[in-house]
Amino acid sequence: MKYSKATNYALHTMLFLAKEATNKPVGVQQLAEMQDVSPTYLSKILTKLVKEGMINSVSGANGGYTLSRNWEDISFLDIIHAIEGKSSLFDCCLYNDPKCVIKEVMLSAEETLENELRNRKISDLVKK
């Protein structure tokens, strides 16, 4: 079980945009070079963030990506969910018992993880 590289790229891109603190769009070319990943692939990842309303995209010359207006509220969990999806970490496929005690433990542990990630905002990492 691992977080995907895509999540890593998304988090670092968000942090970079937050540090920039400018409204001028940053092109995927530049973002991709910094992270040593292909622009088309990164673009596909960032499109997910656009669809979740975390960043805005601007087509055309001098286009690129900018943070959305509410960016200071965006948590690690938001970004992770946008990339990895929101489905549970643990599937108890065993006879689909709704009262499976193992599932209960696993889901409650997952909840503590999510609470932690929900409390951590990208904007906290920017303030000096």
Partner DNA sequence: CAATTAGAGACTTTACATATCTATAATAGC
Partner DNA sequence: GCTATTATAGATATGTAAAGTCTCTAATTG
Tell me which residues touch DNA (CB under 7 A).
4-6, 25-29, 37-41, 43-44, 46-47, 50, 57-65, 84
Residue 107 touching a copy of itself (CB under 8 A)? no
Token pair of 78, please? 């938001």
**Per-residue contact flags (x/-) with a copy of itself for residues 6 to 45, judged by CB under 8 A:** --x--xx--x-------------------xx---------
Main-chain phi, psi angles of 99, to 5 degrees:
-110, 20
Sign of CA dihedral 102, 104, 109, 111: positive
Q: Which of 54, 63, 59 is nearest to 30 (CA)?
A: 63
Residues 76, 18 contacting (CB under 8 angstroms): no
Binding to a copy of itself (CB under 8 A): which residues in 42-101?
Answer: 76, 84, 87, 89-94, 101
Cβ atoms of residues 77 and 119 within 8 Å? no
Q: Which residues bind a copy of itself (CB under 8 A)?
A: 1-5, 8, 11-12, 15, 35-36, 76, 84, 87, 89-94, 101-102, 105-106, 108-110, 112-113, 116-117, 120, 125
